[in-house]
Amino acid sequence: MSTPMELMREASKGTMGEQLGIEFVELTKERVVARMPVEKRVHQPFGLLHGGASVALAETVASIGAWLNVGESGKTAVGLEINANHVRGKRDGIVTATATPLHLGRATHVWEIKLTDEAGKLVCISRCTMAIVDS
């Protein structure tokens, strides 16, 4: 039987997550952590990390966290709403996204996602609401 990490690595092949270089670090029902390199492919025209890339990383970790909590019940999770505050620019290196659940309901989940740089400084804070639906 495959682990969640193995399943996510396989399922991510050919997806936007793979194109952005997202690498999973920790996958549990209580916490999902992933890293993404900050380089030209995730920059906006002025050489900074694109807000859309930050949001894609945030929704990725929230989605996986929600799925880990409902997947065995025959349900899955899809994004319903996401917001993000970009608090610090980043030109290169790595950002790490850490998602933790704020609410795990029957029909919706709400996840908080913090993106930090290598020094642990906050780059982006996001909140993502997931709809829980039949698989």
Active site residues: 59
Q: What are phi and psi of 119, to 5 degrees?
A: -90, 0
SS3 66: helix
Strands (E), 87-116: 93-104, 108-116
Q: Are 127 and 115 in contact (CB under 8 A)?
A: no
At 41, list the tokens: 């492919």
By the 8 A CB rule, do 132 and 90 touch? no
